[in-house]
Structure 1
Amino acid sequence: MAIARKTISTGLTLGATVVTLSTIAVTSLGIHSRGQALFEESPKELIDEVWQVINRQYVDGTFNQVDWQAVRREYLNKSYTNKQEAYKSIREMLKKLEDPYTRFMDPQEFKSMQVDTSGELTGIGIQIGLDEKTKKLTVIAPIDDTPASRAGLLAKDIILKINGKSTEGMDTNAAVALIRGEPGTQVKLTILRNNQQKEFTITRARIEIHPVEYSLKESPAGKIGYIRLKQFSANASKEMRDAIKNLENKQVTGYILDLRSNPGGLLFSSVEIARMWMDKGGIVSTIDRRGEVEKEVANGRALTNKPLVVLVDKGSASASEILSGALQDNKRAVVVGSQTFGKGLVQSVRPLGDGSGLAVTIAKYHTPSGKDINKHGINPDIIVDLNDKQRQDLWLNERDKIGTLADPQFAKAVEVLGKEIAAQDSRADKN
């Protein structure tokens, strides 16, 4: 799951219940001994704290047609002898909302959820969520060059079993607890893909992630800059800035920004990166249950105005959809590839009194033109679909072809960029 800059208590998360399967240290949680003492005296204190947060912040003022006051009476009238009973009741209470993205995490689950800002993870390297319609545990995207991606997992894969245990009715917290583990140990996943079951045995590892890769490419249109952004982590903005500046110094004529299989990440990172490409225009709007809109806009500090093509696919989610949607709506870039994943909900992540945590859906986000990404995703300007076999061959078996003319989506992006460069040159000549 993505969390915002500063503290978790005010963090904004993007997309579905997106969980990085990793074991990470927790910092700056703001957990107070008074809250712990209150909880030890009465588990009901924690139950009521969760209820109050939902009551104040949940995105739907009708609580998805649930009588939320009655829910409070029901669960506070029960007797609790230990915190495990309270945790169970909280999960039951939240389940009534039928929102897989609003969820409770016990202290260990909360620690495991956090994004490690150093970029080092321990796990298999996938991000998962519950599909809104089917409620099935689904792969958002495997993180590039990790055990999951090397094993051949793909976006939209449905996880049927973990180590032989059915995921039917399982929430993401329970799934994460089963999938994560020490480096060198293995986990077996049973996947449903195109109505066929597949078995994957994956060895967990310690994963160091550098979010940005870039290179200079020669093309018929001259030198172009190719930048691949793998996820919107805390250091993605700095690495993106360095990449653009380096390529500008090499006098490239245009850029291809590759967001394929990028499952998203930090809201502030997507906004900062959008500002590197856009001098003006809106970036994203978040809308809460009162209909209040908070807008992020460009700040006139773009690093380049050269032609840009953005590559997306069905593994591009959340912050990737914010960035590609902003560039598309402002006509700053041509978007090429496949329809994106379609995750447009914003969550607030906050610590609770006993060290546990709560993720609450507090808003949805729209592109500058008002498109609700959560219902549909981003439609490319130019569609170049790959079937599952083509995607697996490219991203698993023939990775050296990614970002080359043997990569069909990249090849189309080069062709489109060439036309955009020629059009910009023509306009410059007329002026």
Structure 2
Amino acid sequence: MVITKSRLVLGATAVTLSTIAVTSLGIHSRGQALFKASPKELVDEVWQIVQRQYVDGTFNQVDWVAVRKEYLNKSYSSQEDAYKAIREMLKRLDDPYTRFMNPEEFKNMQVDTSGELTGIGITISQDEKTKQLVVIAPIEDTPAFKAGILSKDVIVKIDGKSTKGMDTNEAVSLIRGEPGSQVVLTIQRNGQQKVFNIKRARIEIHPVRFSQQQTPVGKVGYIRLNQFSANAAKEMQQAIRNLEKQQVDGYVMDLRGNPGGLLYASVEIARMWLDKGTIVSTIDRQGEQEREVARGRALTNKPLVVLVDKGSASASEILSGALQDNKRAVLVGTQTFGKGLVQSVRPLEDGSGLAVTIAKYHTPSGKDINKHGIDPDIKVELTDAQRQELWLRERDKIGTLADLQYAKALEILGKEIAAKRTPTAERSQTNQL
């Protein structure tokens, strides 16, 4: 099966609850399977995919051939037996991003093109070292967001059940449910546990919000990008063109709390800001690089400041890294999440699905940001109390001077705007002499 760029996702354990993966927007299943593979055939199909595509040719020091022999020598009386075996087999890789989804989980993963989902609206990942379930970010205006869930929160219990040893698929199955029903999450934050009762809802997601703001430094276009979904590039294009018509002097793009999404969406959006230069390099297990570059079609060359924080992950890091390394934008905020891996998500013969880590990515300067993230040019920390105050109780102040990170971004943008204007003014005076 050919892997198209639309199937490449970033940080694929980023999980929008009840939809499995926010990073999987735009991925299409085969619909009705042509035939239902036998349990053993399904086990072997998964093994073969990993054998061909997995990013590490040593399979993380696992004898993958011996694993196949072990699991094909077993007898399977049902598909459920096969599913259990597949999950056991994949655990040998010790890679939380390579995971199996049964048909129900795979179906729930796929978000409608309308951008609507059912759940509580958080994105989670399994920490590679501790194996704990960690919140990457809550999605704005969702039940989890309003309840007070924060980036880096650790989910220790779901409806009273311990998450120790639990993978993301099982967590999703426990947390998702019918709109109007409730789920109880026990969160560990700064060494203390907090309990959240959250009501599930149907959520409509528009990835881009924008406004033109009159500020002390001039007319500023403020663009907030919530996630890199299938329609994110289109909405970003519309936002920039609208703001250009309003003749803004510069831009602030807000990627705070953006958990990522589709690789191609981040590349397309980067091209809207960059006329030239590398955007990202993906490296497979043969060490071959595929380089995405700008195409000379930037929609604006006006000054740009980008806001990032620890909830800015995967595709957010590709975009911010590309803009930073190409000297196109100044990054303000805090260190980003640190997701530097790419997954391919594909359907299997019986309607189930498989996500496989197939590559890692580097920023244009060659930085591998996995587990570290991207360091902002200007660091502006917010305490948990300040973040909760801003993002929960005083949300109308986001993107205003009362937002400390935005205020700093505006200060930096003012200097960038002034620096860009000065040479033009000098040339004009010279021409008049």
TM-score bracket for this pair, using the shorter chain length: over 0.9
Instruction: State the Cα RMSD in Å.
Output: 1.7
The alpha-carbon deviation at position 28 of structure 1 amounts to 4.1
Whether the 8 Å contact between 2:6 and 2:264 is mirrored in structure 1 is no
Cα distance, 1:210 vs structure 2: 1.1
Check conservation: 1:8, 1:29, Cα contact below 8 A.
no
What is the distance in 2 between the residues matched to 1:352 and 1:195? Answer: 41
CA contact (8 A) 1:212 1:240 kept: yes
- The one of 302, 309, 314 equivalent to 2:310 is 314
One-letter identity of the residue aligned with 2:29: L
Q: Does 1:248 align with 2:244?
A: yes
What is residue 225 of structure 1 aligned with on the other side?
Answer: 221
Say whether residues 1:144 and 2:131 are aligned partners. no
Give the Cα separation in 2 of the matches to 1:379 and 1:137.
24
Q: CA deviation at 1:143?
A: 0.3
- Residue-by-residue CA offset, 1:212-260 (whole Å, 9 max, x unaligned): 1111111222111111111111111111111111111111110000000
Question: Which of 7-16 and 161-170 deviates more?
Answer: 7-16
Residues in 1 aligned to 2:112 and 2:32: alpha-carbon distance in whole angstroms:
22
Aligned to 1:135: 131
Q: 5 Å matches for 1:313-332?
A: 313-332=309-328
**1:235 and 2:234 are equivalent in the alignment:** no
- How far has the Cα of 1:388 moved from its partner? 1.1
Which of 264, 269, 289 lines up with 2:265 in the alignment?
269
Shift of 1:311: 0.3
Deviations 1:325-382 (A, max 9, x none): 0000000000000100011110000111111110000001111001112131110000
2:371 is aligned with 1:375: yes
- Match runs of 1:107-118 below 5 Å: 107-118=103-114
Q: Distance in 1 between matches of 2:125 and 2:17?
A: 11
Distance in 1 (alpha carbons) for counterparts of 2:340 and 2:294: 20
Q: Which residue of 2 aligns with 1:424?
A: 420
Partner secondary structure for residue 332 of structure 2: strand
Correspondent of 2:301 among 301, 305, 322? 305
Are positions 1:415 and 2:411 aligned together?
yes
How many residues align? The count is 422
Q: Does 1:83 align with 2:76?
A: no
Amino acid at match of 2:47: W
CA contact 2:390–2:398 (8 Å) conserved in 1: yes
Could you say if the C-alpha distance between residues 34 and 121 of structure 1 is closer, same or farther in structure 2, counting changes exceeding 3 Å? Answer: closer
SS in 1 for 2:47: helix
How far apart are 1:148 and its partner, in Å? 0.5
Q: Is 1:193 equivalent to 2:189 in the alignment?
A: yes
Shift of 1:421: 0.5
Instruction: Tell me which amino acid in the other structure corresponds to 1:186.
Output: Q
Q: Distance in 2 between matches of 1:425 and 1:160?
A: 53
Choose which of 381, 385, 388 in structure 2 pairs with 1:389.
385
Does residue 29 of structure 2 align to residue 29 of structure 1? yes
Contact preservation (8 Å) 1:31, 1:354: no
Residue matched to 2:68 = 72
User: Which residue, out of 332, 344, 350, partners 1:348?
Assistant: 344
Closer/same/farther in 2, CA of residues 54 and 23 from structure 1, 3 Å limit: closer
Task: Report the counterpart of residue 430 of structure 2 in structure 1.
Answer: none
Question: For the residues of structure 1 that align with 2:107 and 2:33, how far apart are their CA atoms?
Answer: 18
Q: Does 1:335 align with 2:331?
A: yes
Q: CA 1:44/1:31 → structure 2, altered by over 3 Å: closer, same or farther?
A: farther
Per the TM alignment, residue 112 of structure 1 is displaced from its structure 2 partner at its CA by 1.1
5+ unaligned residues in a row in structure 1: which ranges?
A: 1-5
Give the deviation of 1:29 after TM superposition.
1.6
State how far apart, in whole Å, the 2-side matches of 1:124 and 1:7 are: 31
CA distance in structure 2 between the aligned counterparts of 1:340 and 1:136, rounded to whole angstroms:
19
Match of 1:100 among 87, 96, 101: 96
Q: Distance in 2 between matches of 1:230 and 1:293?
A: 29
Query: What's the CA shift for 1:117?
Result: 2.1
Give the Cα separation in 2 of the matches to 1:9 and 1:266. Answer: 9
Could you give the per-residue CA deviations for residues 56-103 of structure 1, whole angstroms, max 9, x where no partner exists? 100000000000011011111111111111111110000000000000
Contact map agreement 1:8 1:349 (CA 8 A) in 2? no
Q: What is the distance in 2 between the residues matched to 1:137 and 1:43?
A: 30
Task: State the Cα deviation string for residues 113-135 of structure 1 (Å, max 9, x = none).
Answer: 12332111111001111011211
Amino acid at match of 1:29: S
List gaps (5 residues or longer) in structure 2: 428-433
SS at match of 1:315: coil
Bigger mean CA offset, 418-427 vs 14-23 = 14-23
Secondary structure in 1 matching 2:371: helix
How far residue 30 of structure 1 moved from its aligned partner, in angstroms, is 2.2
State the Cα distance separating 1:33 from its structure 2 match: 4.5
State the TM-score, normalizing by the size of structure 1.
0.95
Decide whether aligned partners of structure 1 residues 9 and 271 sit closer, same or farther in structure 2, where only a CA change above 3 A counts.
closer
Decide whether the 8 Å contact of 2:135 with 2:151 is kept in 1: yes
Distance 1:26 1:380, change over 3 A: closer
- 1:43 partnered with 2:39: yes
2:27·2:345 contact (CA, 8 Å) conserved in 1?
Answer: no
Cα gap change, 1:109 to 1:326, in 2 (>3 Å): same
Letter in 2 for 1:412: K
Change over 3 Å in CA distance of 1:30–1:8 after alignment to 2: farther
Q: State the alpha-carbon separation in 1 of the partners of residues 221 and 19 from structure 2.
A: 35
- Whichever residue aligns with residue 242 of structure 1, its letter is Q
- Percent identity between the two aligned chains: 74
SS in structure 2 of the partner of residue 199 of structure 1: strand
The answer to whether structure 1 residue 13 and structure 2 residue 9 are counterparts is: yes
Preserved contact between residue 185 and residue 196 of structure 2 (Cα < 8 Å): yes
Query: Bigger shift: 210-219 or 64-73?
Result: 210-219
Q: SS at the partner of 1:239?
A: helix
Instruction: Kindly indicate whether the alpha-carbon contact (under 8 Å) linking 1:188 and 1:200 is maintained by their aligned counterparts in 2.
Output: yes
Question: Is residue 55–residue 357 contact of structure 2 (8 Å, CA) maintained in 1?
Answer: yes
Secondary structure of the corresponding residue to residue 244 of structure 1 = helix
Find the aligned partners of 1:34 and 1:223 in 2 and give their Cα distance: 56
